[in-house]
Chains A and B, each alone.
Chain A
Amino acid sequence: SQTIHQWPATLVQPVGSPLSLECTVEGTSNPNLYWYRQAAGRGLQLLFYSVGIGQISSEVPQNLSASRPQDRQFILSSKKLLLSDSGFYLCAWSVQAGGHNEQFFGPGTRLTVL
């Protein structure tokens, strides 16, 4: 069966510090991968998605970036965090073909920028 991991689970960072969040998927090959952010009291905002190694599409211009160095690894980064980057960061995966593209979410990383 497929599982998705995210780490760290929680993170408190000062403004201006760098960020690296990691997501890995097990039990499937060539998945679509997604990064979402959920701010307090708000909906899910799609940040990035990837259909393959090295292929990243950005949905929202901001100080965040994403990379996919391996088939089942997705990384979210920032060089300098802003207060507005606080939120619940969720990684998700979906199959590329043969389904209805239902997404499955990892446990999330709760980021607080102070």
Chain B
Amino acid sequence: QKEVEQNSGPLSVPEGAIASLNCTYSDRGSQSFFWYRQYSGKSPELIMFIYSNGDKEDGRFTAQLNKASQYVSLLIRDSQPSDSATYLCAAPSGGSYIPTFGRGTSLIVHP
């Protein structure tokens, strides 16, 4: 069973801080990794994807991938209350193009 694991949280950070969300995956064959943001009652929205070891930055978001340790992280700098949501990590298993989703980490940014 290919798995993608996330701490369910909630992760609570003050406004302006860095939020760090982590995800581990079991299939070493996974090549691409996705982060989705899901507001309560809404559908998931793709915010980042990464497929090379290292960091990928997009505005206040940085995705980090370490294939040797099989983890992928999402950093949110200068966190805002509007970032409060559930963040889903997803990764296709090796040989498949369909991602397996983690259960998500709930992030709360308090003023």
Binding site for B on A (CB under 8 A): 32, 34, 42-44, 46, 49, 88, 90, 94, 100-108, 110
Contact = CB atoms under 8 A, between A and B. Distances in A.
Contact of A101 (B88, B97, B101): B97
A60 to B, nearest CB: 13
A102 B43 contact: no
B21 to A, nearest CB: 15
7 contacts: A32-B97, A43-B102, A44-B44, A46-B98, A101-B32, A103-B99, A110-B41
Contact of B98 (A34, A43, A90, A104): A34
Could you tell me the dominant secondary structure of chain B's interface residues? loop
Interface of B: 31-32, 34, 36, 41-46, 49, 51, 88, 90, 92, 97-99, 101-104
A111 to B, nearest CB: 14
Sort A-B residue pairs by CB-CB distance and give the 3 closest, nearest first: A43-B103, A100-B32, A105-B43
Contacts of A90: 43-44
A6 B43 CA distance: 11
- Most A CB contacts (10 A, CB to CB) among B49, B98, B102, B103 go to B98
B85 to A, nearest CB: 14
B47 to A, nearest CB: 11
Given A102-B46, A105-B36, 15 more contacts: A42-B103, A43-B101, A44-B101, A49-B98, A100-B31, A100-B32, A101-B99, A102-B34, A102-B49, A103-B34, A103-B46, A105-B43, A107-B42, A108-B43, A110-B41
Contact of A100 (B49, B98, B101): B49
A73 to B, nearest CB: 18
A88 B39 CA distance: 13
Contacts of B51: 100
